[in-house]
Structure 1
Amino acid sequence: MTHDQPPPPPVRQLRLVVEAEDYEAALSFYRDVLGLPEQAAFSSGGGARVAILDAGRATLEIVNPAQKRYIDEVEVGRPVAPKIRVAFEVDDGPATTARLVDAGATEVAPPTGTPWKSVNSRLDAPAGLHITVFQETATLAERTSEPGFGTEGPVP
């Protein structure tokens, strides 16, 4: 490592582990319909199975209660999200939403334009997940130049 390159981040991957009562239905929904490629799959005694699906780049979005309420209001019009909501960035939000509903998800709110320059829909999906499907309509650079956007940076 040279002195002008920052050290690699200490965390290499965020993996969300979800128990699905109907494993086959959940696997089909997320792998085959949403389109998350299967990275690996394992099985063990007693019928134990796991599939690891590649969801692209992972981020951890931390919101305070006021922002959670605001996001629910913008995307759905009422409070609906549990403490954990999984969001997937896609190229075509409306088409993906329709495909997921056709595959058994329940639409909570249709694709909706947001103040943060995306089109977001909400669904209740297999394995008990409340999900957002979002399509960015502006680049990160464009969004961060807007008032109210940016980074907070580390707390001193």
Structure 2
Amino acid sequence: MSEPAGAVQLRLVVHAEDLDAAVAFFRDALGLPAELDLTSPTDGPGEDARVVVLGAGRATLELVNTPQRALIDSLEVGRDASREIRVALEVDDAADASARAVAAGAVEVAPPTPTPWGSLNARLEGPAGLQLTLFQQVEPE
């Protein structure tokens, strides 16, 4: 029997009350290019339904147990700060990307901090209730 085919894309779907602000943040401040912007009329009064898909390069699903989550929090932030879902984006320059994100409205939880995994990680609170890690891999993983 052959192996089942694997997924070809990981898509994180996030509800944003202020879609335009969320799109501007991720597209303009963090440089995620728009791959799809689709508006569909709705039957009732009010605004039309809209979805925007932003490209983020390679996607992975990182699953961590409770001790690993606590370890990551202690290294990146110095305290328990994670939610059940945190979005990590690899960037070329964590300090620059973090500064751009804060200028665009993100709240800094922790500045870029070296990790034992050879990366420089910044923790932010972004729009749409997303907690973000912006990481720069400075040494091979």
| TM-score of the aligned structures, taking structure 2 as reference length | 0.92
Distance between the aligned counterparts of 2:55 and 2:20, measured in 1? 17
Other-structure match for 1:90: 91
1:30 aligned onto 2:26: yes
CA separation in 1, counterparts of 2:114 and 2:92?
Answer: 15
Which whole-Å CA distance do the structure 2 matches of 1:109 and 1:55 have between them? 22
Q: Distance in 1 between matches of 2:33 and 2:117?
A: 28
- Aligned partner of 2:73 in structure 1 is 72
Cα deviation, residue 32, structure 1: 1.1
Aligned residue for 2:58, secondary structure, equals coil
> How far off is 1:8 after superposition?
9.0
1:85 and 1:60 map into 2 onto residues whose CA distance is: 11
Q: How does 1:34-113 map to 2 (within 5 A)?
A: 34-46=30-42, 47-113=48-114
Partner secondary structure for residue 71 of structure 1:
helix
Matching residue of 2:45: none
Report which of the two structures shows the higher radius of gyration computed on alpha carbons: 1
> Structure 1 vs Structure 2: percent identity of aligned residues?
55
SS in 1 for 2:128: helix
Hey, which bits of structure 1, 4+ residues long, moved more than 6 A?
none
CA–CA separation in structure 1 for the residues paired with 2:59 and 2:53 = 14
Greater relative CO (CA pairs within 8 A, separation 6+): 2
Deviation at 1:64, TM superposition (A): 0.3
Q: Which runs of 5+ in 1 are unaligned?
A: 1-6, 144-156
State the Cα distance separating 1:9 from its structure 2 match: 4.7
How many residues are aligned here?
A: 135
Alpha-carbon RMSD across the aligned residues, in angstroms, is 1.5
Q: Which amino acid aligns with 2:26?
A: Y
Separation in structure 2 between the aligned mates of residue 56 and residue 100 of structure 1, nearest angstrom: 18
**Residues 38-81 of structure 1, C-alpha deviations (whole Å, 9 max, x = no match):** 01111112311111100000000010000000000000000011
Q: What is the SS of the residue equivalent to 2:83?
A: coil
Gaps of 5+ in 2: 43-47
Q: Partner of 2:9 in structure 1?
A: 13
SS at match of 1:134: strand
